[in-house]
A and B are shown apart, each in its own frame.
Chain A
Amino acid sequence: MSLDLRIPMGLMFLIIGALLAIYGIFTRGSEIYSRSAGMDINLIWGIVMLVFGLSMFLLGRRGDKHPKAPPVEGTARPLGH
């Protein structure tokens, strides 16, 4: 299959992470964070998701450029009918 899932998945997490983080920056110190034990959870978790998405995306891009070697010969076993 020539669509590497890591690319769209990475992109999705990247965009959602960025959105959350930006929203978190603009709502810093807002009353809404009394829910999440005082933490700016949008900013913190947005950054976590952004980093995860970016690494997935980059890994997928790298994997696309270096296609994997075919499986080692002789590892397939005789099959039934």
Chain B
Amino acid sequence: MNLTTIDWLIMLLYFVFVLGIGFALKRFMKTSKDFLQAGRALPAWICGLAFISANLGAQEVIGMGASGAKYGIVTSHFYWIGAIPAMIFVGVFMMPFYYGSKARSVPEFLRLRFDEKTRAWNACSFALMTVFSSGISMYAMARLIQTLHVFDKLFIHLGLPLDWIFHFAIILSAVIVLCYIFLGGLTSAIYNEVLQFFLIVAGFLPLVWVGLKNVGGWSGLKASLPSAYMHSWQGMGSSHTNPLGVDWFGLVAGLGFVLSFGYWCTDFLVIQTAMAANSEESARRVPLIAAIPKMFFPFLVILPGLIAIGTPMVTRHVMGQAAPVGMTATTSGSENLSAGRGLIPAKVDPVSGKIMLDTQGQPVLDYDLAIPNMLLHYFPTGILGLGLTALLASFMSGMAGNVTAFNTVWTFDLYQSYINKGASDAHYLKMGRWTTVVGILISMGTAYVVLGFNNIMDTLQLVFSIVNAPLFATFLLGMFWKRSTGHAAFIGLVSGTLAAVLHHGLTVPAATATGIHGGWLHVVHVYPSAMALNFYQAIFAFTVNFVLTVLISLVTKPRPESELVGLVYSLTPKPVEHHMAWYARPSVIAVGLLVLLVGLNLIFK
């Protein structure tokens, strides 16, 4: 990596502004509400962009680019089927309850609607998951900085050992995120998420443009790729005829319904940004505003993956000769490119230094390098700094969202509810502030644990998927069925989680050893792919939770209806829309979004 002054200058400018925003916001942080809920005073467009940005961590950017290179356009299902319908649903139907109930967090809504134990379960599992995923984000960033040799020259120049780069990256990101959250709380996190949103667009749009131009436009890209890469629905009839290894039912029900609604409608990481909006109307518009860019994000993050595969060998050789002396590695892992495909190098065994081969003797490709290599290949110095800054920004804001969500859930749902009840607001503000430090420290700890144990990342991601899978059934029944009770919700939720654990223990993806990937109890079913296992596991967990909650609700005593006003759909007056211009009404925006969604799927079917 050959960075020059201009690249460093851009990166530095970004950090200055990030911290500057934190300092500028400090004087507005007077109450715990200001700090943990952004004072509930932000405009809808800011919250809307933060809503998708909170989810757009670099793992997402890198991962989607990687899937784009591996599977093609079919990856866009994670955006279209796997996000848009859920975002529309949460905006139109669920936000009035989150915002209108005056709950300060998603677990607190569960206490208002159900009872203390359901809240405690959700608050604990959520708080743990947020700090762990923040740690994973931190680890991933430090590894990427190492792989791309971003700081190598700087370290050599200063005479420091290169092994310290990992620690340096961890500490640098921790300090920056800590500073701006400690100073400006959720507002600061949201503002920086918006900043990151625009940076990602500014960094990736020229990448797609230059990349497409280089491979001969859309038609050139199409010609250079296998035809299966360009379709999102072809072969979805059976799990054996499409690259994902999932059939359409698993995709639509597992990803499109259970997982996506479970995430976008219940995860406080994203919901916190909508709950920070300045009115219920704004809060309802937040996910809808977010859905518009979300729909087009595949062109920004998945398309570079496709272009990376489609970039022909010839340009690479020309490039290699044109590179000035001393620029040994124009793209990361260039020595393995000859065994790779397009810009994707083959994976190298870190111990033996040899190219890793799969069971058929084909080289294993390192798809995670699709986006970084695209940046290095197509961007000259100057704009390269911008691209890298965008990548770093997305890592940090992914961490920041997790840390603020942890702050709120810890302070309001655990500390204030179970440890220290009647303290002053100033005390909770202080608690919220200092929880930031604890949250960041746990994240750093997680990052080092992930570094030390190979399997821990897979394990954590497995735990996330198990805990998240049944959640949506609880919220769905809570908001739309007044008969559902607290005991039922709690038993349903716990059983749903256990069902997911059991399902994982009894099934395994094809051609995979039993253990961390499934089948550790006894193998009763083999899924065609890990993705299929994950989707069906979610369907099972959801169904168990749903059925049990309904059955137990019928035999337990419901709460009086008067207590449920504002919490359940049928007992709450419908939001008024008639005073808004027709195009600003959530229902109209929702229909428009659905039409666009169908249109995009038809174009890329």
Contacts and interface: CB of A to CB of B under 8 A. Distances in A.
A79 B194 CA distance: 30
A33 B214 CA distance: 12
B41 interface: yes
B281 A80 contact: no
B191 A80 contact: no
Nearest to A79: B566
Nearest to A5: B191
A78 B565 contact: yes
Contacts of B566: 77-81
B28 A27 contact: no
A29 interface: no
Given A20-B386, A35-B379, A76-B280, A15 B28 contact: no
A16 B8 CA distance: 11
B60 to A, nearest CB: 22
Nearest to A17: B202
Nearest to A7: B24
Interface string A34-59: 11110101101100010010000000
Among A9, A27, A36, A79, chain B packs the most CB atoms within 10 A around the CB of A36
Contacts of B322: 31, 34
B552 interface: no
Contact of B6 (A19, A41, A79): A19
B242 interface: no
Contacts, number: 135
B378 A36 contact: yes
B382 interface: yes
Contact of B281 (A2, A41, A45, A75): A75
Contacts of A13: 198, 202
Contacts of A19: 6, 9-10, 13
Contacts of B194: 5, 9
A72 B41 CA distance: 16
Contact of B101 (A2, A32, A41, A80): A80
B319 A34 contact: yes
B195 interface: yes
Interface stretch (B166-174, B358-366, B571-579, B584-592): B571-579
Interface string B268-285: 000000000011110000
Contact of B383 (A12, A45, A52): A45
Size bracket of the B interface? 35 or more
Nearest to A35: B380
Among B102, B198, B378, B563, chain A packs the most CB atoms within 10 A around the CB of B198
A71 B25 CA distance: 24
Contacts of B210: 35-37, 39, 41
A32 B381 contact: yes
A69 interface: no
B382 A72 contact: no
Interface in B190-231: 191, 194-195, 198, 202, 206, 210, 213-214
Interface stretch (B14-22, B332-340, B431-439, B456-464): B14-22
A8 B382 contact: no
Contact of B100 (A15, A23, A34, A77): A77
Among A11, A35, A44, A52, chain B packs the most CB atoms within 10 A around the CB of A35
Interface of A: 1-3, 5, 8-9, 11-13, 15-16, 19-20, 23-24, 27, 30-37, 39, 41-42, 44-45, 49, 52, 71-72, 74-81
20 contacts: A1-B25, A1-B28, A1-B38, A1-B41, A3-B28, A8-B20, A9-B195, A19-B6, A32-B380, A33-B380, A36-B206, A36-B379, A41-B382, A42-B383, A45-B206, A74-B576, A76-B279, A77-B573, A80-B572, A81-B563
Interface of B: 6, 9-10, 13-14, 17, 20-21, 24-25, 28, 38-39, 41-42, 46, 96, 100-102, 112, 187, 191, 194-195, 198, 202, 206, 210, 213-214, 278-281, 318-319, 322, 324, 377-383, 386, 563-567, 572-573, 575-576, 579
Given A5-B195, A9-B195, A80-B112, 16 more contacts: A3-B24, A8-B17, A9-B198, A16-B13, A19-B13, A23-B6, A27-B382, A36-B383, A37-B210, A39-B213, A41-B383, A45-B206, A76-B279, A77-B280, A78-B566, A79-B100
